[in-house]
């Protein structure tokens, strides 16, 4: 018999059919004449209830199965009188596939997110993490559809890189040198000419520089790949390995890219509200959720409302004039901290905010310099609950200005020859941004720790699973 997915059974409310299902037992309750099994197969938020009659041949063994066991059940689907379910199954046969014992960590009592993080190999078997990772999947698919429908090409930028794309020095080195006894040069330094690639290379912090090459020939591209940052940020918003979506567009300026950013975020929200209703409903009402009950109304509002756009200078004015006490100073020229970003989006505007034209010193070397000589054509998109989810800019397309900036920052230009070449051969205004995929998932699901929205988080001093 062909197996049916529980998602299909529940969605189409299939009855009067004998079908085969396979999954993991979420709960099991034994009574004299029957046992009630709740089975989930990962395909939907809902589970299927199965009534197992004591007449069944292997009833003794089935009725003593523990939570987490895997089974294949053949049975008749019938209308259900039970609360919250339209269909249930009367089992005709139960095949036991894999048993568990009492040490199975996911027992019925409520388990904390922290506990589940320590059991990340099993947490996708819970309602909450099933929901989160189904939303994650939907948002990934929506991303490809959004950009592809607009004519953007999907580009796989390299993961091993010889340049620091952000110029921030937060890279993980990739090396095959003997770590106990590395080759040394005459000065006693590690001799990377003897390393695998003949030079020092690292995991990418961005795919932007390669993205710019492709945009400067194919018009509009986007990357969607892993990104690695060796920043020592043990916060609920930073991971050492995260996924970034980076569109790059030729013949575009900062306003074009700001419009693209808000359209994309609104598209993601619309897609989630339409395709992940059960998941989002579950997440906002789950036991112990610290998510605002109005979360879904808020998302629907953001989906339909134009994003606020202010300059960095205006942001500093708002922050300095507010009564809020901040830990970090709010003076012109300093980075906006998460507390500032959250104040602007959560308290002041109560909506996503695009902040543009930051001081050059706060931002990366490649951003287009404004006429004022102080600011650059940068933007960050800030959202309530999370802070920054997007960072982007118009890129400096003038060769001399870019070189002067790299010199001023004391960068070693050598490895960037191909990047600066773009400014010599048919240079055009172009712009792009990076959306942190996990930050977007946090925002849409309302989860408050980034480690709970990536399958297996990597953080300083922590790399399990
Ligand atoms: P932050 O100030 O929050 O550290 P950033 O300014 O370093 O962010 P960018 O370099 O602009 O971020 O990267 C683009 C996007 O990538 C950010 O808007 C954010 O969504 C995401 N991002 C950056 N660093 C991380 C990280 N360590 N973990 C997860 N996402 C990140
Ligand atoms: Mn950062």
**3-state class (DSSP) for residue 249:** strand
CA of 181 to the centre of ligand 2 (A): 33
CA of 435 to the centre of ligand 1 (A): 8
**With contact defined as beta carbons under 8 Å apart, do 241 and 226 qualify?**
yes
Measured by CA distance, the residue closest to atom 24 of ligand 1 is 238
* Nearest residue to 150 (alpha-carbon basis) of 229, 287, 260, 304: 260
What is the number of the ligand 1 atom nearest to the C-alpha of 240? 27
Sort residue 426 into left (φ over 0), alpha (ψ -120 to 50) or beta.
Answer: left
Measured by CA distance, the residue closest to atom 1 of ligand 1 is 388
Q: Is 241 exposed, middle or buried (0-12, 13-18, 19+ CB in 10 A)?
A: middle
Ligand 1 pocket list (CB less than 6 A)? 166, 229, 231, 233, 238-239, 242, 244, 388-391, 434, 436, 438-439
| Nearest ligand to the C-alpha atom of residue 233 | 1
Q: Is 204 exposed, middle or buried (0-12, 13-18, 19+ CB in 10 A)?
A: buried
Instruction: Give the model's pLDDT for residue 62.
Output: 96
- If one counts every other C-beta atom within 10 angstroms of the C-beta of residue 363, the result is 21
CA of 231 to the centre of ligand 2 (A): 7
Measured by CA distance, the residue closest to atom 12 of ligand 1 is 391
CA of 283 to the centre of ligand 1 (A): 25
Stretches in the chain below the pLDDT threshold 70:
287-288
What is the number of the ligand 1 atom nearest to the C-alpha of 231? 27
Instruction: Give the model's pLDDT for residue 288.
Output: 65
* Nearest residue to 351 (alpha-carbon basis) of 383, 385, 388: 383
| Nearest ligand to the C-alpha atom of residue 238 | 1
CA of 229 to the centre of ligand 1 (A): 9
**339 backbone dihedrals φ, ψ, rounded to 5°:** -60, -35
Instruction: Give the model's pLDDT for residue 152.
Output: 98
CA of 346 to the centre of ligand 2 (A): 20
The span from the CA of 400 to the CA of 123, in Å, is: 53
Instruction: Give the model's pLDDT for residue 393.
Output: 98
- Vertex 117 angle, CA 97 and 128, to 5°: 70
Instruction: Give the model's pLDDT for residue 111.
Output: 84
Q: SS3 for 173-222, per residue?
A: EECCCCCCCCCECCCCCECHHHCCCCCCEEECCCCHHHHHHHHHHHCEEE
Enter the DSSP assignment of 435: E
Tell me: the pLDDT tens digits for 14-52? 999 999 999 999 999 998 899 999 999 999 999 999 999
What is the number of the ligand 1 atom nearest to the C-alpha of 390? 18
Measured by CA distance, the residue closest to atom 10 of ligand 1 is 391
Measured by CA distance, the residue closest to atom 4 of ligand 1 is 238
Enter the DSSP assignment of 55: T
Give helix 295-304 / helix 254-275 axis angle, nearest 10°: 140
CA of 412 to the centre of ligand 1 (A): 24
Measured by CA distance, the residue closest to atom 2 of ligand 1 is 388
Measured by CA distance, the residue closest to atom 26 of ligand 1 is 238
What is the number of the ligand 1 atom nearest to the C-alpha of 389? 20
Q: What are the counts of helices (DSSP H) followed by strands (DSSP E) for the chain?
A: 13, 16
Measured by CA distance, the residue closest to atom 29 of ligand 1 is 238
Measured by CA distance, the residue closest to atom 7 of ligand 1 is 391
Give the residue, out of 391, 442, 450, 452, with the most ligand 1 atoms within 8 A of its beta carbon, to mutate for a pocket test. 391
| Nearest ligand to the C-alpha atom of residue 340 | 1
Measured by CA distance, the residue closest to atom 16 of ligand 1 is 436
Measured by CA distance, the residue closest to atom 27 of ligand 1 is 238
**3-state class (DSSP) for residue 343:** helix
| Nearest ligand to the C-alpha atom of residue 435 | 1
């Amino acid at each position: 018999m062909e197996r049916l997915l529980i998602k299909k059974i529940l969605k189409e409310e299939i009855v009067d059919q004998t079908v085969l299902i396979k999954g993991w037992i979420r709960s099991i309750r034994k009574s004299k004449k029957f046992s009630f099994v709740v089975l989930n197969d990962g395909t939907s938020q809902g589970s299927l209830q199965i009534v197992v009659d004591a007449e069944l041949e292997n009833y003794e063994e089935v009725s003593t199965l523990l939570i987490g066991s895997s089974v294949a059940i053949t049975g008749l689907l019938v209308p259900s009188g039970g609360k919250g379910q339209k269909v249930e199954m009367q089992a005709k046969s139960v095949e036991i596939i894999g048993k568990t014992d009492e040490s199975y960590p996911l027992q019925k009592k409520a388990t904390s997110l922290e506990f589940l993080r320590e059991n990340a190999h099993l947490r996708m078997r819970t309602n909450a993490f099933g929901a989160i990772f189904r939303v994650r999947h939907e948002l990934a698919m929506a991303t490809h559809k959004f950009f592809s429908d607009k004519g953007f090409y999907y580009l796989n930028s390299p993961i091993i890189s010889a340049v620091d794309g952000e110029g921030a020095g937060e890279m993980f080195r990739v090396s095959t040198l003997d770590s106990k006894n590395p080759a040394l040069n005459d000065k006693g330094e590690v001799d990377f000419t003897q390393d695998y690639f003949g030079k020092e290379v690292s995991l990418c912090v961005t795919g932007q520089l390669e993205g710019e090459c492709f945009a400067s020939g194919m018009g509009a591209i986007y990357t969607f790949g892993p990104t690695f940052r060796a920043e020592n940020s043990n916060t609920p918003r930073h991971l050492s390995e995260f996924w970034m979506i980076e569109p790059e567009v030729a013949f575009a300026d900062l306003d074009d890219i700001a419009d693209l950013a808000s359209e994309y975020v609104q598209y993601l929200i619309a897609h989630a509200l339409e395709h992940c209703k059960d998941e989002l409903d579950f997440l906002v009402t789950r036991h112990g959720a610290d998510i605002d009950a109005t979360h879904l109304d808020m998302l629907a509002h953001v989906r339909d409302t134009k994003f606020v756009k202010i300059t960095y200078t205006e942001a500093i004015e708002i922050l300095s004039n507010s009564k809020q006490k901040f830990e970090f100073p709010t003076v012109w020229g300093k980075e906006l901290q998460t507390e500032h970003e959250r104040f602007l989006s959560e308290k002041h505007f109560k909506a996503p905010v695009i902040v543009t034209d930051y001081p050059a010193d706060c931002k990366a070397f490649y951003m287009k310099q404004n006429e004022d000589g102080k600011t650059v054509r940068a933007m960050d998109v800030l959202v309530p609950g999370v802070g920054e989810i997007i960072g982007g800019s118009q890129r400096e397309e003038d060769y001399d200005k870019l070189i002067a900036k790299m010199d001023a920052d004391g960068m070693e230009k050598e490895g960037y020859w191909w990047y600066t070449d773009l400014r010599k051969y048919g240079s055009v205004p172009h712009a792009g941004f990076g959306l942190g995929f996990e930050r977007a998932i946090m925002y849409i699901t309302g989860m408050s720790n980034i480690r709970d929205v990536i399958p297996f988080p990597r953080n300083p001093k922590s790399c399990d699973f």
